[in-house]
Structure 1
Amino acid sequence: MNCWLHKRSRLRSAGILGAFFACLGLWLSGGLASTAAAKEPGPVISLVVDGKGVESDVLPLRQNGRMLVPIRVIAEATGSQVEYDAEQQRVSFGQKGKHVSLDVNSRLAYVNGERVTLEAPPIIVNQRTLVPLRFVSEALGYQVEWDATSSVAHVQTKPVEDRAVTVEEAANPYVVQPNDTLGAIALRHGTTMSAIKKNNYLSSDQLTIGQILFLPHAAKKAEHPLADKVGDKRLLGQEYLFPFNDASWYEPYGDSFGSDREWTESHNGSVRRHEGIDIMAPKGTPIYSVSDGTINRVGWNTYGGWRINITDKNGQFRMYYAHLSAYAPGLRVGGTVKAGQLIGFVGDTGYGGPGTVGMFAPHLHFGLYRNDNGRAVDPYDYLRYWEQNKVVSLFG
């Protein structure tokens, strides 16, 4: 059987810091965030901490090209001692031998007594002192990256350790046939069992019918290639990506396409057909567009919750991403996206009216439909192929 391609099968928590980041009271340049949020198709997340999207009721303020966040919330999240001098409008905090102080509306700050010039001055909004996120992160030893395409800030407070791995050679996929053995496959393709096992991270010699094996570089062309099994070879191009990045944790997934689903909007006891693949992952896990394309639907769906439909650039297929907890900012019907662009976050929405959550465990439902007739296509084999082509984490 395949050894699922993760170095560790465990959930990685964002910890206390991520929880407190969820409380960030941010201010949107040009007006209240609630005004802007009303124009969005649903909840929006603009901050990712340790690989998880952090929900906030407002969008961040961008000032002089910098994101401003409340310093007290960040400091408290890390266990720092915070003091505020209302008369001098000075805030200070300390953690792990570091002491930082700064004054509202001043670009001068002090880190361990050493003067530092800020990129943007702290300001007070709604009784909160906001400071540049990059300054706070660097003062505390964190990393910050700004995803300009998706308008999302990423903060990493610790090294990325649990990184998913992919096969070294993925250009020659073979589909396991009845009565196949690993030894026979190796012999017919001019390679060795050990080479196949190493390239596919196999933990045993056992195989299952329909399993995809990626033959090593020196092997002959696959006798039963994946292209002969799937319905459309065009979807096996390198321009298609897996919907999670290479640092995201998710559970091993099977082919759940066509299985029964009992919940229906009418509640009449009927059973419907599952038209996609479910990939279980922690809530807030970033989701990326599989392909270049155009958004044709975005917003609430009774079954899919917060969802987005994207028609690929060739107009042949629609990709359906469902049960999201939130979207990346600025997604609109008719808008275009690029393969690998962050579009949303894993959630547990759906099976009810707008805002319904908790009817099932968090996961991404990925569906694939032909655009000419609307028929659902089993995306399992494509996902297994795309799994070898992932977005590289910003902190890779």
Structure 2
Amino acid sequence: MNRCLHKNSIRLWTKVLGAFFICLGLGITVPDTAGPAFAAEPGPVISLVIDGKGISTDVQPIRQNGRMLVPIRVIAEKTGANVTYEADTRQVTVTEKGKRVVLLLDSRTAYVDGKRVTLDAPPMVVNKRTVVPIRFVSEAMGYQVYWDNKSQVAMIQTKPVEDTAAVIGYAKNPYVVQAGDTIIEIANSHDTSVEEVKKNNYLSTDFLTIKQLLFLPEGSSKAAHPLSKEVGDSRLLDEKYYFPFSEASWYEPYGDSFGSDREWTESNNGSVRNHEGIDIMAPKGTPVYSVSNGTINRVGWNTYGGWRVNITDEDGRFRMYYAHLSAYVPGLKVGGTVRAGQLIGFVGDTGYGGPGIAGMFDSHLHFGLYQNSNGKAVDPYYYLRYWEQNKLEDSIS
């Protein structure tokens, strides 16, 4: 288990360039030789992640002869690189932090700070857009790159990932704080010390709240009030389930908002409804991962949830509901299967209206959990707190 708590331009791109293309750096309709093309997507799709955020483009990265080509303009805009194009020579020049890279369209010859190099695949114009081989760009600029083949998403890291996670040293013995508990009493009754309890849970004070989840340090006696007694199905307390954000993602501390009042309704008649999930506030574009192995049973627009996806877990007992997304990864469809820890979409602020409505609230992930047999909503708070200790490691760190 990865035992972690939450983690606390280009300017020269305005001209129409040449007779074949409007601007550098976007790409493409995927040809048969460049990998699968997905038709009839359920909603907006993102295929490029830069520095931990999904980037919306009007194109997708492609695979060409076993190599990945990505839209250079988007990368430049997100990193502050300067890009120019010379129509006479069909030359693209990228400069950033003292580095100068020159590429020639449809040529495998390029230059890095004046030194000639041979590319794995040539830059090309497709549908009036230019894409370049990301392996070359990453080596020239010092970026890290990863191609998520399952989700068909290119991930690029242009700067070091800050690891600010508070790591739980031992998470196999969770204890739920009861009324009247003190940290001294909990430590003494479980054959450990206050210092070890605080160290294992990254606590800065002795203050506790009722129903707070503590992870007793290794060597402690079995929890007198274990988490398994607070949840309806302890089978979900398993290391095969993942938290929906990765180790590299930042999000705000979250509480148990299940059952709280929500005033917006589809009829706008002033009635109040219950909140059937947990809201985790996070920046728009934050990658969202599947909690479980399972099968997609719904995907697309929902009046309340916006762009959402429902996944029935592989055991058929529960449905996981991921809502208010800004976009999906390519190829999601009803009946498709996913794996635990697979990238499925990106945090957004969609919903509360007809298709495409966004901005009615701050960006966040709404995670819901439902019994598959009867559709009854289950409070997922404690499950999320447990799964929070099992996060997907950053693929390109």
Aligned to 2:186: 185
Aligned to 1:205: 206
CA distance in 2, matches of 1:48, 1:138: 18
SS at match of 1:196: helix
The amino acid across from 2:102 in the alignment is S
CA distance in 2, matches of 1:323, 1:374: 20
Aligned to 2:62: 61
Shift of 1:75: 4.3
Q: Could you list the per-position Cα deviations for residues 199-244 of structure 1 after superposition, in whole angstroms to 9, with x for gaps in the alignment?
A: 0011111111111110001100111100011110100011011000
> Larger relative contact order (C-alpha < 8 A, sep ≥ 6)?
2
Q: Using a 3 Å threshold, how does the CA distance of structure 1 residues 80 and 227 change in structure 2: closer, same or farther?
A: closer
SS at match of 1:364: strand
CA distance in 2, matches of 1:82, 1:287: 31
Q: Find out whether 1:160 has 2:161 as its counterpart.
A: yes
SS at match of 1:185: helix
Alignment of 1:1-396 (within 5 A): 5-6=5-6, 9=8, 25-30=26-31, 39-72=40-73, 74-75=75-76, 78-396=79-397
Q: Could you list the per-position Cα deviations for residues 324-366 of structure 1 after superposition, in whole angstroms to 9, with x for gaps in the alignment?
A: 0001111110011000000000000000000000000000000
The answer to which of 297-306 and 128-137 deviates more is 128-137
Q: Using a 3 Å threshold, how does the CA distance of structure 1 residues 83 and 377 change in structure 2: closer, same or farther?
A: closer
SS at match of 2:301: strand
Contact residue 29 and residue 126 of structure 2 kept, 8 A? no
Q: Could you list the per-position Cα deviations for residues 267-317 of structure 1 after superposition, in whole angstroms to 9, with x for gaps in the alignment?
A: 111111100000000000000000000100000000000000000010000
Shift of 1:110: 1.2
Aligned to 2:19: none
CA distance in 1, matches of 2:106, 2:53: 32
CA distance in 2, matches of 1:84, 1:252: 46
SS at match of 1:264: coil
Aligned to 1:12: none
Contact residue 93 and residue 101 of structure 1 kept, 8 A? yes
Aligned to 1:13: none
The amino acid across from 2:215 in the alignment is F
CA distance in 2, matches of 1:264, 1:143: 45
Percent identical:
68
Contact residue 44 and residue 326 of structure 2 kept, 8 A? yes
Shift of 1:190: 0.3
Matched residue pairs, number?
380
The answer to which of 218-227 and 102-111 deviates more is 102-111
SS at match of 2:353: coil
CA distance in 1, matches of 2:219, 2:193: 10
Q: Using a 3 Å threshold, how does the CA distance of structure 1 residues 72 and 354 change in structure 2: closer, same or farther?
A: closer
Shift of 1:135: 1.3
Backbone CA RMSD of aligned residues: 2.1
SS at match of 2:198: helix
Q: Using a 3 Å threshold, how does the CA distance of structure 1 residues 186 and 290 change in structure 2: closer, same or farther?
A: same
CA distance in 2, matches of 1:259, 1:336: 32
Contact residue 49 and residue 154 of structure 2 kept, 8 A? yes
SS at match of 1:195: helix
CA distance in 2, matches of 1:367, 1:357: 20
Q: Using a 3 Å threshold, how does the CA distance of structure 1 residues 128 and 169 change in structure 2: closer, same or farther?
A: same
Q: Could you list the per-position Cα deviations for residues 49-87 of structure 1 after superposition, in whole angstroms to 9, with x for gaps in the alignment?
A: 110000112222221122323445544654445443323
Q: Using a 3 Å threshold, how does the CA distance of structure 1 residues 69 and 183 change in structure 2: closer, same or farther?
A: same
CA distance in 1, matches of 2:133, 2:186: 57
Q: Could you list the per-position Cα deviations for residues 107-162 of structure 1 after superposition, in whole angstroms to 9, with x for gaps in the alignment?
A: 11111222211111111234443211221222111111111111111111111114
Q: Using a 3 Å threshold, how does the CA distance of structure 1 residues 72 and 237 change in structure 2: closer, same or farther?
A: closer
Shift of 1:38: 5.2
The answer to which of 363-372 and 103-112 deviates more is 103-112
The answer to which of 37-46 and 284-293 deviates more is 37-46
SS at match of 1:357: coil
CA distance in 2, matches of 1:353, 1:50: 31
Q: Using a 3 Å threshold, how does the CA distance of structure 1 residues 376 and 76 change in structure 2: closer, same or farther?
A: closer
User: So what's the TM-score if we normalise by structure 2?
Assistant: 0.91
User: So what's the TM-score if we normalise by structure 1?
Assistant: 0.91
SS at match of 1:26: coil
Contact residue 37 and residue 44 of structure 1 kept, 8 A? no
CA distance in 2, matches of 1:28, 1:95: 29
The amino acid across from 1:339 in the alignment is A
CA distance in 1, matches of 2:148, 2:88: 38
The answer to which of 380-389 and 37-46 deviates more is 37-46
Q: Using a 3 Å threshold, how does the CA distance of structure 1 residues 339 and 70 change in structure 2: closer, same or farther?
A: closer
Q: Using a 3 Å threshold, how does the CA distance of structure 1 residues 320 and 80 change in structure 2: closer, same or farther?
A: closer
SS at match of 1:361: coil
Unaligned runs of 5+ in 2: 14-23
Contact residue 43 and residue 326 of structure 1 kept, 8 A? yes
The answer to which of 376-385 and 77-86 deviates more is 77-86
Q: Using a 3 Å threshold, how does the CA distance of structure 1 residues 393 and 72 change in structure 2: closer, same or farther?
A: closer
